[in-house]
Amino acid sequence: MKLLFICLGNICRSPMAETIMRHITEKANLADKIEIDSAGLIGYHEGETSDSRMISHAKRRGYIITHISRKIRRSDFEYFDKILCMDDQNFDKLIDLSETKEETDKIERITDYCTQHVIDHVPDPYYGGAQGFENVIDILEDACSNLLNTINEDLKKEE
């Protein structure tokens, strides 16, 4: 299973989702079965590390973000099995970029996997304060945990 997390600039939300997913996948001994990456819809921050505030809040929770920002590539639509976005703006843009029904079917909202949070998007914390970053981590921990449960069930069916 190959997962790609998407947000606008790939410096806050999607690298955090990638980091959380990688962390819980390793804890579940599934790292060899699930490939994880993230990207942004714009290339403004390409080649940069994640936002220092996101890195700081992640570190307080025991996560180390190592991702370097990149823009989504055409080949990502073919390569990844699931493309998980953070909000409706991301979703709409990804739908516009997809070229086939198969590509469109791979696009999902990460919040569709939330069970503890009743929310339809992961808010962008970039222009907000500390609580915004903490909220993003809370939402993504919920969503990624349930995403992993879903993937794990699918993997068991394939065995």
- The 10s digit of each residue's pLDDT in 12-60 is 999 999 999 999 999 999 999 999 999 999 999 999 999 999 999 999 9
Neighbours of 126 (CB within 10 A): 16
Task: Give tens-digit pLDDT for 82-112.
Answer: 999 999 999 999 999 999 999 999 999 999 9
The secondary structure of residue 81, as a DSSP letter, is S
pLDDT higher than threshold 80 for residue 159 = no
Query: Which residues have a catalytic role annotated?
Result: 7, 13, 124
